[in-house]
């Protein structure tokens, strides 16, 4: 058959067949890409009405801290709005180096390296270290940037059941003993709010000669006075690499990896997402430095996020919500049914509470949920108002009795 005569396929046909989002928008039940008018942290404005935000990653509420705001504005005045180049070439400032030194000391590692986003950090770290013949193993609920880093690498990619150390042991035992092995997990899982069983995972890694990297995106600034999951368990010196992001507790954007100097020197010269991306603007770096000052000098911010989380965990559970195994300021309201989850999200939003609707594939099948999360700067009045709305709407929709 003459291939030139074969029916041609239009690449864009798939875009015309993708109608779910348009249909959801037309029906008024689209929970994503919601454009807010304004947000001061705990309260956001949507079409002129105020809504209580309990779906943020701004755990310490530092985006509105006067020291953080001022540091960012001062940096713009001095350095301008962009470095207009990569860290590798012409985009490294003394501020970047200062932040790396501060982070290394804060986390408890020899060295730290700053990337332009948290996503790019894990993408670059994993793909730089894993070569042909190596093996990378991740938790099945690991963040997408870890998965994408594994897929971008030239190594073999394996996964183990969520926080199941016996399954991790099985996966590593079946791997080539001559292969270099890297296990990558989240320290705190962003949907369930559970903490990884890090000591047990470390033990399995050591048994099989595997290196261990922990993504502390939702742990830094929260666990162990802000120092993360390894510090929470007292094993920072044994965890090989710790990554994190600035877009949550650090009130900015960007990311970092911390570890041994020789390992980071290698990553610095092999991570394509670092070498070929514009560097973090000075205003964002300055904001992170100021946020780090606050975390170190005003520990009450970390304490308050735990106080608020404990309060909400007790109240939500008492109301009858299924909050899973949450151990952190991330508290899911597990519903299980996709459409009920979306309807519940919509009703809460209209009543004055913003949460995050999460459905498969972001969570396993039959595990659809509303992701709620809490901040240091939430007042008790705001939390009580949110609870009143959650209780009323939850009963209306049969989520609780």
Choose the final residue of a domain: 242, 264, 297.
297
pLDDT band at 7 (very low <50, low <70, confident <90, very high): confident
The continuous run of DSSP H or E covering 396 comes out as helix 380-396
What DSSP line would sit under 320-379, residue for residue? T---TT--SSEEEEEEE-HHHHHHHHHHHHHHTEE-EEE-TTSS-TT-EEEEEE--TT--
Task: Round to whole Å and give the CA distance between 190 and 188.
Answer: 6
The verdict on 207 and 100 lying in the same domain is yes
The residue-averaged pLDDT of 162-184 equals: 97
Evaluate if residue 121 carries a pLDDT over 60. Answer: yes
The residue-averaged pLDDT of 128-148 equals: 96
Q: What is the pLDDT of residue 69?
A: 96
pLDDT band at 106 (very low <50, low <70, confident <90, very high): very high
Tens digits of residue pLDDT in 53-95: 999 999 999 999 999 999 999 999 999 999 999 999 999 999 9
Share of the chain above pLDDT 70, in %: 99
Evaluate if residue 205 carries a pLDDT over 80. Answer: yes
Tens digits of residue pLDDT in 247-272: 999 999 999 999 999 999 999 999 99
The verdict on 287 and 380 lying in the same domain is no
Evaluate if residue 374 carries a pLDDT over 90. Answer: yes
The dihedral through the CA atoms of 370, 374, 377, 382 has a sign that is: positive
The verdict on 74 and 205 lying in the same domain is yes
Choose the final residue of a domain: 243, 266, 297.
297
Q: What CATH number does residue 36 fall under? A: 3.90.1150.10
Task: Round to whole Å and give the CA distance between 114 and 99.
Answer: 8
How crowded is the C-beta side of 248, counted as CA atoms within 13 Å?
A: 26
Domain membership flag for residue 60: no
Q: How many other CB atoms are found less than 10 A from the CB of residue 104?
A: 19
Domain membership flag for residue 251: yes
Evaluate if residue 361 carries a pLDDT over 90. Answer: no
The verdict on 253 and 116 lying in the same domain is yes
What DSSP line would sit under 261-325, residue for residue? HHHHHHHHTT-HHHHTSBPPPHHHHHHHHHHHHHHHH-THHHHHHHHHHHHHHHHHHHHT---TT
Secondary structure class of 116 (helix, strand, coil)? coil
Tens digits of residue pLDDT in 189-200: 999 999 999 999
Q: What is the pLDDT of residue 206?
A: 98
The verdict on 103 and 216 lying in the same domain is yes
Long-range contacts of 383-390 (CB under 8 A, 24+ apart): 383/308, 383/311, 383/312, 383/315, 385/52, 385/352, 386/52, 386/54, 386/353, 387/312, 387/315, 387/316, 387/319, 389/52, 389/348, 389/351, 389/352, 389/353, 390/316, 390/319, 390/321, 390/333, 390/348, 390/353
pLDDT band at 364 (very low <50, low <70, confident <90, very high): confident
Domain membership flag for residue 258: yes
Among residues 180, 144, 178, 136, the alpha carbon closest in space to that of 160 is found at 136
The two structure tokens encoding residue 136 = 């990378």
The verdict on 70 and 31 lying in the same domain is no
The dihedral through the CA atoms of 185, 186, 191, 193 has a sign that is: positive
Q: What is the pLDDT of residue 332?
A: 97
The residue-averaged pLDDT of 27-33 equals: 89
pLDDT band at 3 (very low <50, low <70, confident <90, very high): low
The verdict on 269 and 325 lying in the same domain is no
Evaluate if residue 296 carries a pLDDT over 80. Answer: yes
Evaluate if residue 358 carries a pLDDT over 70. Answer: yes
Evaluate if residue 2 carries a pLDDT over 90. Answer: no
Evaluate if residue 8 carries a pLDDT over 70. Answer: yes
The verdict on 236 and 340 lying in the same domain is no
Evaluate if residue 5 carries a pLDDT over 80. Answer: no
Which is more confident, 38 or 341?
A: 341
Task: Round to whole Å and give the CA distance between 15 and 12.
Answer: 5
Q: What is the pLDDT of residue 257?
A: 98
Q: What is the pLDDT of residue 366?
A: 87
The verdict on 249 and 120 lying in the same domain is yes
Domain membership flag for residue 322: yes
The two structure tokens encoding residue 15 = 């875009």
Evaluate if residue 220 carries a pLDDT over 90. Answer: yes
The verdict on 274 and 343 lying in the same domain is no
Number of domains in the chain: 2
Tens digits of residue pLDDT in 308-335: 999 999 999 999 999 999 999 999 999 9
In angstroms and rounded to an integer, the radius of gyration of the C-alpha atoms of the chain is 22
Best-predicted range by mean pLDDT (23-32, 33-42, 374-383) = 374-383
Beta partners for residue 371, in sequence order: 332, 356
Domain membership flag for residue 81: yes
The verdict on 316 and 348 lying in the same domain is yes
Domain membership flag for residue 262: yes
Choose the final residue of a domain: 276, 297, 318.
297
Evaluate if residue 1 carries a pLDDT over 90. Answer: no
Q: What CATH number does residue 218 fall under? A: 3.40.640.10
Q: Mention every residue, 6+ apart, whose C-beta is less than 8 A from residue 252.
A: 72, 246, 284, 285, 287, 288, 291
Give the chain's mean pLDDT: 95
How crowded is the C-beta side of 308, counted as CA atoms within 13 Å?
A: 30
Contact between residue 68 and residue 298 where contact means Cβ atoms under 8 Å apart:
no
Q: Is the pTM of this model over 0.85?
A: yes
The residue-averaged pLDDT of 175-197 equals: 96
Beta partners for residue 356, in sequence order: 371
Task: Round to whole Å and give the CA distance between 87 and 149.
Answer: 20
Domain membership flag for residue 11: no
Token look-up 């959650």 returns 390
The verdict on 30 and 146 lying in the same domain is no
Q: What is the pLDDT of residue 318?
A: 97
Q: Mention every residue, 6+ apart, whose C-beta is less than 8 A from residue 379.
A: 42
Range of the domain at 31: 18-53+299-396
Domain membership flag for residue 8: no
């Amino acid at each position: 058959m003459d291939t030139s005569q074969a029916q041609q396929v239009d690449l864009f046909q798939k875009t015309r067949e993708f109608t779910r989002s348009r249909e959801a928008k037309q029906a008024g039940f689209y929970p994503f890409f919601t454009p807010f008018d304004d947000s001061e942290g705990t309260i956001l404005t949507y079409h002129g009405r105020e809504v209580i935000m309990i779906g943020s990653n701004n755990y310490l509420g530092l985006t509105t801290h006067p020291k953080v705001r001022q540091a960012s504005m001062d940096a713009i005045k001095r350095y301008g709005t962009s470095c207009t180049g990569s860290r590798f070439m012409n985009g490294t400032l003394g501020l970047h180096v200062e932040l790396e030194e501060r982070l290394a000391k804060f986390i408890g590692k020899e060295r730290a390296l700053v990337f332009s986003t948290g996503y790019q950090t894990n993408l670059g770290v994993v793909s730089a270290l894993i070569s042909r013949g190596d093996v990378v193993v991740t938790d099945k609920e690991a963040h997408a940037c870890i998965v994408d880093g594994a897929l971008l690498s030239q190594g073999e990619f394996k996964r183990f059941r969520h926080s199941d150390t016996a399954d991790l042991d099985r996966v590593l035992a079946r791997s080539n003993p001559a292969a270099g092995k890297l296990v990558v997990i989240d320290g705190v899982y962003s949907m369930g709010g559970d903490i990884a069983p890090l000591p047990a995972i470390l033990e399995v890694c050591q048994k099989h000669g595997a290196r261990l990297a922990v993504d502390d995106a939702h742990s830094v600034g929260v666990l162990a006075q802000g120092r993360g999951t390894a510090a929470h368990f007292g094993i920072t010196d044994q965890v090989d690499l710790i990554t994190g992001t600035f877009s949550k507790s650090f009130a900015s954007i960007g990311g970092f990896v911390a570890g041994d100097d020789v390992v980071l020197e290698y990553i610095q010269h092999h991570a394509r997402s670092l070498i070929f991306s514009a560097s973090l603007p000075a205003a964002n770096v300055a904001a992170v430095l100021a946020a780090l000052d606050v975390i170190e000098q005003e520990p009450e911010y970390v304490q308050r996020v735990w106080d608020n989380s404990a309060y909400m965990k007790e109240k939500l559970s008492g109301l009858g919500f299924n909050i899973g195994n949450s151990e952190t300021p991330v508290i899911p309201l597990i519903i299980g049914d996709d459409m009920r989850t979306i309807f519940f999200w919509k009703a809460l939003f209209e009543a004055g509470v913003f949460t995050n609707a999460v459905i498969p594939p972001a969570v396993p099948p039959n595990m659809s949920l509303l992701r709620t999360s809490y901040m240091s700067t939430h007042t008790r009045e705001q939390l009580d108002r949110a609870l009143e709305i959650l209780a009323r709407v939850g009963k209306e929709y049969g989520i609780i009795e």
